A = this chain, B = another copy of it.
Amino acid sequence: MQELFSDRISDVPPSFIREILKVTQDPTIISFAGGLPSKELFPLEALKAATQKVFETGGTEVLQYSTTEGYLPLREYIARRYEEKMGLKVDPKNILITNGSQQGLDLLGKTLLNDGDDVILEAPGYLGAIQALSIYRPSFHPVEMDDAGMLIAPLTETLAQFGQTKLMYTVPNFQNPSGVSYSNERRRQVVEAVRNSRTLLIEDDPYGDIRFEGERSASFASMLPERTILLGSFSKTVVPSFRLGWIVAPDALLEKLIVAKQASDLHTNYFSQRVLYQYLCDNDLDEHIDRIIDVYGRQRQAMLEAIDREFPAGIHHTRPDGGMFLWATLPEGFIANDLLQLAIKDKVVFVPGDPFYVDGKAHNSLRLSFTTVDEATINTGIQRLGRAMRELLAG
């Protein structure tokens, strides 16, 4: 059967993370490896009430096939929220509801990428985007990040070298995996670098609302509206299992995305769109997000303090202002995978940086999630990890 498989499917990197998650089935292991939001924060009762209301007021229509674009009142809600929160004018007709923003990436690949097309990625970059876009066999050009976003010199160089670059993918707020947010200055520089190319900017923003401190920076969409595609999601703020995300795209592209969406799965689960919309009508989303911010913020703080206490000298790490992750970097010459082997023995796990790069190399960086572990567990886990680091560094 192997000889029947498409070339593209063999290009997709295997999900190393799935393997790590298997290890964490052991309940005595402390895991900073997960990428999941904390289920304790899901609004169970409110979603239950919304569901009952949808059954009672919607009738059998909520069980029928629906439109490919998605439920219009939900798209209108999303547009209103862009205006309120970011001063961004978005027409609901430019919004397509997707099965999580992961599907947005698949549809963008489908609609835009021919084999070998040039795509600029952050390094490290979001694994889900690497996987989704790999299917369409582009040439990836990773551009290194520092604590303020993509580095401008290599970005400019890459854009000059690959003048026909079609897409550039970014997570400008509390990036997965690094937790880095682009500074205002860096955003302006990125936009200047891209402005004179034909490159479309994908601005993936699943974490933007989960900000512990500081102010929201201007969105790429507000600075380069004609060439920015926005991806959003309710998975990190309300409910992941419903698989509800969206794409905001210019008219001509949205038309093609609808064709791709229809070919891919006709439309997104309509019942869940109705339930989520009902939830959003009957509840204060910001109040709910404040609860998430409170918990994740305290856990991030606990992790930062434990790191300052427990990690040996020479380990660099980010100090994210929001989101779900932080990123640590071992001194040069050390390999995060080696650290993982020592850490597993000491019953703590994380995701080594390798799958977030497209170069296939062994990296010295690692991702730590602070969402699903309470403060006491964070202290114990970081203590164990610090011990494993000292063991590694001591050789």
Contacts and interface: CB of A to CB of B under 8 A. Distances in A.
Interface of A: 1-9, 12, 14-15, 36-37, 39-40, 42, 44, 47-48, 51-52, 55, 59-66, 98-100, 102-103, 106, 110-114, 128, 131-132, 134-136, 166, 198, 200, 235, 239-243, 250, 252-253, 256, 259-260, 262-272
Closest 8 A-B residue pairs measured CB to CB? A241-B270, A99-B265, A103-B265, A39-B60, A42-B63, A131-B263, A48-B55, A241-B271
A245 to B, nearest CB: 9
B110 A135 contact: yes
B112 A4 contact: yes
Contacts of A243: 265-270
B6 A136 contact: yes
Given A99-B99, A264-B106, A265-B103, A6 B63 contact: no
A258 to B, nearest CB: 9
B269 A269 contact: yes
A5 B111 contact: yes
A94 to B, nearest CB: 13
A265 B60 contact: no
A58 B134 CA distance: 36
Contact of A252 (B1, B37, B269): B1
A322 B166 CA distance: 48
Given A1-B250, A6-B110, A112-B6, A264 B64 contact: no
A103 B60 contact: no
Contacts of A262: 15, 131
9 contacts: A6-B114, A39-B61, A47-B63, A106-B264, A135-B263, A135-B264, A243-B265, A243-B268, A269-B272
B100 A14 contact: no
Nearest to A64: B39
Given A64-B240, A243-B267, A265-B243, A111 B51 contact: no
A265 B51 contact: no
Nearest to A113: B6
A5 B112 contact: yes
A53 B214 CA distance: 42
A241 B62 contact: yes
Given A1-B250, A44-B60, A250-B1, A102 B264 contact: yes
Nearest to A3: B198
A259 B9 contact: yes
Contacts of A64: 36-37, 39, 42, 240-241
Nearest to A251: B1
Contacts of A98: 265
Contact of A260 (B9, B198, B250): B9
Contacts of A270: 241, 243
A99 B269 contact: yes
Given A241-B270, A262-B15, A272-B272, A111 B55 contact: no
